[in-house]
Amino acid sequence: MKKQFIKIVLSCAVIAGGCTVTSCSKKSSSSKNVSRATGWKINAKEGGFQYNTDFKEQETAPGLVFVEGGTFTKGKVQDDVMHDWNNSATSQHVQSFYMDETEVTNVMYLEYLDYLKSVYPPENPKYANIYKGALPDTLVWRNRLGFNETMTNNYLRHPAYAEYPVVGVNWIQATQFAEWRTDRVNEVMLEREGYLAKDAKYQAATGEVAGTFSTEAYLNRPESVYNGQIDSLQGKMKKDSVNTYAKRSSGIIMPEYRLPTETEWEYAAQAQVGSREYNNYRGRKKYPWDGDYTRNGQRVGRGDQLANFKQGKGDYGGIAGWSDDGADITAQVMSYKPNDLGLYDMAGNVAEWVADVYRPIVDDEISDFNYYRGNIYMKTAIGEDGKVNILRDSVVYDTLPNGKVVAVNLPGEIKMVPVDEEETYLRTNFSASDNRGYRDGEPSSSRFFDRFSDEEDSENTKKMYDSPNHKVERDSLGNLIRQYDHSNNRTTLINDEVRVYKGGSWKDRAYWLDPAQRRYLPQYMATDYIGFRCAMSRVGSKSKTKNKTVRGKKAK
C-alpha cells in the first residue's frame, strides 16, 4: 500500500510539472539548441558549449561549380590504337566535390603574382626567390624552328590574353597557387562574417600591416596571424576587448583549394549527369559532349569544332574565314560550350595538371573509392612550449632538379613534419608517411626487393622504377652545382616526382580529347600546352539539400 502511494505521488508531481518523462525528452530532442547527448543548452548566454547549429550546407566558393559524386567507369574500354593501356577500365566511386568552371587564367595568376610581390618584395634578399619561384616559364613558347617571340613576350601579361588559360606553370607552382587562393578566400569569408575588420586583407596586401593570413595558422594559433597583429584587425565579432576567433566548427572556414585528383577530373570531364545512357555509364562516352564526333551537328553552328585542338598536320585552326575552332594557339576561356556540369574546356585548349603521381597501372584492388595516388601524410610541428610551431620570419626553400628555387613554406605558415610511429603504430590503413609508391614502386612491390641496398647505384640494386637521378645543389656562394645522371642502365622515366596531366590541348590531335587519356611529366617541368584548374572537397551531404528527400520525406 505504501509503495503504491509513493508511485501516485511521483506521477502527480510529474504531471504538475507540465509534462511526462516521454514528452520532456521529445521536447529536448526536437530543439537544435538543446543537446541530445546531455540535455544541456547549446550556445547558452550563461556559457557552456558553443556550436554553429544554423549551418545549412557548404557554400560554393568563388569560381567553382558543384559536381555531385557517383559511380562511373574510369579508364578506356575502347581499343587503344596507341597500345598504351595505362588506364584500363575500373569501376570507381567519387565523392561530391567542386571544380573550377574554367582553367585558371592569366589574369587570375597575375593577381597571385602581384600579391606575392607586394607582401614579399623581391628586392628584399630574404624574399627574392618567393616571387621569382612563382613566375611562369614564358620561354616554353620558344621553338628552334618557329617564330613565337610574340607569345614569349606578351602571352602572360598583355590584356589581350587576360582571359586565356595560364601556361608555363609547373605542378609545384599550381599547387602553391591553390594554397594561396585558399587563404585569400577565407579572408573574405571571415571579413563577411565579422571576424576580420573590413578591408583588413588589403592592408596586409599593401604592406600596411606586417605579415599575412594563413588559414591553418588562424585555426591553430589565431593570435599569430598577421605577424601577431590580429588583435587590431578583428571585426564586429570582437566584444568588450575580448578576442573572438572563428573555428572549424563555426562552419565559416572553407576547405582548401587544391588540384583535382585524376579520378575527379575524369569523372567531371565525362559529365554523365546529362545522359543516363547505358553506354555512357559503362565508360563508352568518348568526349565530354555526347556523340562520336568533334564537330557541332546542331543547326546553329553546324560544322564548328566543339573544342580547340590540332586537326591535322599543320592545321591548328582551319582555313581563314572558314567555320572551324576559331583559335590557332590557346583560346579565351568559355569560347566553347560547357559540358553538362557547366565546366568549360574539359577537352582541348590546354591539358591540365591533376594531383596524382603517375603509375602505368591503376590499383583498384586496394581502393575503388576516391582513388588517388600521391598521399604524403603530415602533421603540425609542436614547439617546446607545446604550441603549434609557426614560421615567423623564416622562409623554407627547395631547389628543383632543373635549378629553379621555390618557396616551400612562407612566413606565418605552420611548420609541417611527416607523421611518425605515434600515428602509424598498429594501424591497418597506413604504416608510413609517404605512400606514393605503395604497392607499385616501393621496395616491397618489386620482385627484387631482397636485393635492395643502401648504395643507390649498386649493381645489385634492382628497382621497379629506376629513373635517372639528377641532382642539383648550391655551394656556399649560391652557385648551382648540377650533377646529370649519365647512366646507361636506366629503364624508365617514372618516379615519385612525375605527375599526371589530362585532356587534350591546342597542340594535340583529337585522340587526346578522350577524358580517359593520361600522360605524365616531371612535376618541376612546364610547357606551353599544360595549364590547370582547382577543385575543392564537398563536406556534408552528397547532393545539394535543396529538394533533397530523406527516406521518402522532403528534407526540412
3 vs 157: CA distance, rounded Å:
90
* Residue of 298, 321, 317, 319 whose CA lies nearest to 307: 317
Q: Cell numbers at residue 220, please?
A: 591553430
The pTM is what?
A: 0.89
SS3 string, 100-138, reads ECCCCEHHHHHHHHHHHHHHCCCCCCCCHHHHHHHCCCH
When pLDDT is cut at 50, 70 and 90, the band that residue 485 belongs to is confident
pLDDT in tens, 66-119: 999 999 989 887 777 777 788 888 899 999 999 999 999 999 999 999 999 999
CATH number for the domain whose boundaries are 64-193+253-453+464-537: 3.90.1580.10
Minimal CA–CA distance to 369: which of 264, 525, 247? 264
pLDDT tens per residue across span 202-212: 988 887 888 88
Q: What is the Cα–Cα distance from 556 to 113, expressed in whole angstroms?
A: 45
Q: For the chain, what percent of residues have pLDDT higher than 90?
A: 51
Residues 6+ apart with CB under 8 A from 204: 119, 211, 212, 213, 226
Mean pLDDT of the chain, nearest integer? 85
pLDDT tens for residues 310-359?
A: 988 998 988 887 767 889 999 999 999 999 999 999 999 999 999 999 99
For range 386-407, the mean pLDDT = 86
Residue ranges per domain, the chain? Answer: 64-193+253-453+464-537
The 10s digit of each residue's pLDDT in 29-66 is 457 789 889 999 988 888 788 888 888 899 999 999 99
Residue 462 has pLDDT above 90, yes or no: no
Higher-pLDDT residue of 1 and 370 is: 370
pLDDT > 50? residue 13: no
Q: Using H for helix, E for strand and C for coil, what is the string for 448-512?
A: CHHHCCCCCCCCCCCCCCCCCCCEEEECCCCCEEEECCCCCCCCCCCCCCEEEEECCCCCCCHHH
pLDDT in tens, 261-279: 999 999 999 988 766 555 4
Q: What are phi and psi of 452, to 5 degrees?
A: -65, 145
Residue 459 has what pLDDT? 44
What pLDDT, on a 0 to 100 scale, did the predictor assign at position 144?
A: 94
Higher pLDDT, 371 or 231: 371
Q: What is the average pLDDT across 201-227?
A: 89
pLDDT digits (tens, 9 = 90+) for 246-260: 999 999 999 999 999
* Separation CA 405–CA 384 (nearest Å): 30
